[in-house]
Structure 1
Amino acid sequence: MFGYVVINEPELKIKDYREYRGVYCGLCQTLKRKYGPFGQLCLNNDMTFMALLHMSLYEDEEAGRERMYRCKLHPTRKQKIYDNPCLEYAADMTLVLSYYLARDHWMDDRKPEALLHMHLLRKKVRKLLKIYPRQFQAVRNYVYRLEAAERAGEKDLDVLAGLTGTMLGEIMNWKNDVWADMIRETGFYLGKFIYLMDAYEDLDKDIKKHRFNPLTVYKDQQDFEKKIFSMLDLMMADCARSFEKLPLHLDVEILRNILYAGVWSKYMKIRNDKNKTEEVRDESL
């Protein structure tokens, strides 16, 4: 589920890339401070995007502070990182989503590491339940409804992707304030995009392991790749339309880089990897 909402680094100005790294590394350090080194392992680009969006929307209310930090993984120079309530919220949501992602891996593959992951996160997640009941309920509803839809063999992509969209929209709706509808709508279409991208990337693996994937019935159609791109394009067009309604001023070019270029660089990488795999298969015949 994670890893699709990324920057397109070559298209970013150096100052914007450093700004993005400041938020990304700030989230990493917030996870470490609140949840220890294991919390850092849950770090992902998708929640970095959410933090960046909230920092832009609530720049006057949640300014927080900046500080210089020398990362152990990059010890040659210090870099600016952020510390603010937007990153606190992103860290908390990262943990909740990571717990349910581990649960999904356990249900799918019965991997012992996924069960261990759940065990390590369970107590921390229970505390967050009391702080964020609305968001927690949205994630829980999503998990159970998606499982039920998959067991029933639901084939309607709009229904399935909409479950992820509804959940992410509620997660991104931090304060449930005057901007709630626009944020929910942005998150809704972004969530639908993420669901379809995840299904697209995992399709061959899911077929091999006899796991549910709604794209299985479309795979052998002649215009399969064109259909996938068209659906993804429509979802991101709707997401961008909602995003542009928000009164954002800070780091808007970075956010646009992610929505207009970053997500597509990820799509192209997945598509190219699939093409290479197909070429290898053809050569082996």
Structure 2
Amino acid sequence: MFGYVTISEPELKVKDLRKYKAYYCGLCRTLKERYGGVGQLTLSYDMTFVVILLTSLYESETNHSTHRCKVHPVKKQNMLQNQMTEYAADMNMILSYYHMKDDWVDEKKVSGFVGTYALRRRVKKIIQKYPRQSHVIQKELKMLTALEKENSQDIDKTAGCFGRLMGELLICKEDQWESRLRKMGFFLGKFIYLMDAYEDLEMDQKEGLYNPLKELSKKPDYEERCREMLCMMIAECSAQFEGLPCLLDVDILRNILYDGVWTRYRRIQEQKKKSEEKNNDKESI
């Protein structure tokens, strides 16, 4: 995952911030308990959002505990864990496993081989437990890899792969909320993929790497069109969310969807502004 689906800390109440951190630390501990240190390396804000969303929707019974960890060795941290934390941890491992497997098979990356070898035995059980999600994750990652190899500039196709992957990942139960969750995940996944491509464009251009926005970036209205696409994706995602009966931690969820997801975007804009000002100063000299 990419870490774009996070909170806007200044806009969050203190009690909600503490609870959000407890969910995050709970997911970290669950990854460690189930998959060791390798599992902890896959921890992300995006999957913390999934935990909070599904906990709110299904009103899962949550356990509170306090523990020390390597990051916080002195002070015990509050941790919230439940069935949805375990589900999110499992999905995180499947996603990481198939991603690293593709890196090894397609690009012969040593990190992909090492990661695949380290996770293979543990992830095999998860794949058997969640065949539906595993199949879609593997299928969409393969399709995305193929499109990237073709240097596809069809952003709807490439982002759609990650959208369908995210849509399937949100469905832990096939029930009356399945359709709405799938749509919500689809648009959220497309937003994540677009934001990642937008953030990495300059670096990818310098290093000659693939980016689905390269052709669009040549257009004079590139910035405007990117923002429009991002706004459209998160608006559709939020519309689906508002149709869910989520009451628990709804302020945290809305903080993420309406403000937090734009945190990195605002940071990128600030960096671009500073860079432009620096260049203008050089030209004036």
Once the two structures are superposed, residues 20-54 of structure 1 have per-residue CA deviations (whole angstroms, 9 ceiling, x without a partner) of 01100000000010001221111100000000001
2:76 is paired with a residue whose SS is strand
Aligned to 2:25: 25
Please tell me whether the aligned partners of residues 157 and 214 of structure 1 are also in contact (alpha carbons under 8 angstroms).
yes
Q: What's the TM-score once normalised by structure 1's chain length?
A: 0.92
Structure 1 unaligned segments of length 5 or more: list them: none
Distance in 2 of aligned mates of 1:35 and 1:217 = 41
Distance 1:127 1:56 in 2: 27
> Percent identity, aligned pairs only?
47
Moved more, 200-209 or 99-108: 99-108
Shift of 1:150: 2.4
CA contact (8 A) 2:102 2:142 kept: no
Alpha-carbon separation, structure 2, partners of 1:56 and 1:160 = 30
Deviation string, structure 1 residues 35-77 (Cα, Å, up to 9, x no partner): 0122111110000000000110111xx3032122234423453
Matches within 5 A, 1:132-151: 132-151=130-149
Q: Distance in 1 between matches of 2:270 and 2:238?
A: 25
Change (3 A) 1:77 1:160: same
**Matching residue of 2:195:** 197
RMSD: 2.1
Is the deviation greater in 193-202 or in 75-84?
Answer: 75-84
> Is residue 268 of structure 1 aligned with residue 266 of structure 2?
yes
SS in 1 for 2:78: strand
Query: After superposition, what is the alpha-carbon deviation per residue over 1:260-285, rounded to whole angstroms, capped at 9, x for unaligned?
Result: 01111121113333444555667778
Tell whether the 8 Å contact from 2:23 to 2:51 is kept in structure 1 after alignment: yes
Cα distance per residue 1:108-164 (max 9 Å; x no partner): 875433432222112222221100000000111101111222233432222221111
Q: Which amino acid aligns with 2:205?
A: I
> 1: distance between equivalents of 2:147 and 2:176?
33
**Cα gap change, 1:229/1:107 in structure 2, threshold over 3 Å: closer, same or farther?**
farther
**Structure 1 residues 175, 51: closer, same or farther in 2, change over 3 A?**
same
1:154-169 aligned at under 5 Å gives the runs 154-169=152-167
Counterparts of residues 57-136 of structure 1 (less than 5 Å): 57-59=57-59, 62-103=60-101, 105-106=103-104, 111-136=109-134
Aligned equivalents of 1:157, 1:37: Cα separation in 2: 35
Given that residues 6 and 266 in structure 1 are in contact (C-alpha distance below 8 angstroms), is that contact kept between their aligned partners in structure 2?
A: no
- Counterparts of 1:221 and 1:210 in 2: how far apart (Å)? 19
Question: How many residue pairs align between the two structures?
Answer: 283
In structure 1, the residue matched to 2:255 is 257
Q: Does 1:182 align with 2:197?
A: no
Aligned-partner Cα distance in 1 for 2:115–2:241? 34
Alignment correspondent of 1:172: 170
The letter of the residue matching 1:149 is L
Separation in 1 of the partners of 2:282 and 2:116? 41
Query: In the alignment, does 2:55 pair up with 1:55?
Result: yes
Structure 1 distance, partners of 2:192, 2:102, is: 16
Ranges in structure 2 where 5+ consecutive residues have no aligned partner: none
SS in 1 for 2:75: strand
Deviates more, 1:206-215 or 1:140-149: 206-215
Counterpart-to-counterpart distance in 1, 2:192 and 2:77? 31
Worse-matched range after superposition: 234-243 or 217-226 = 217-226
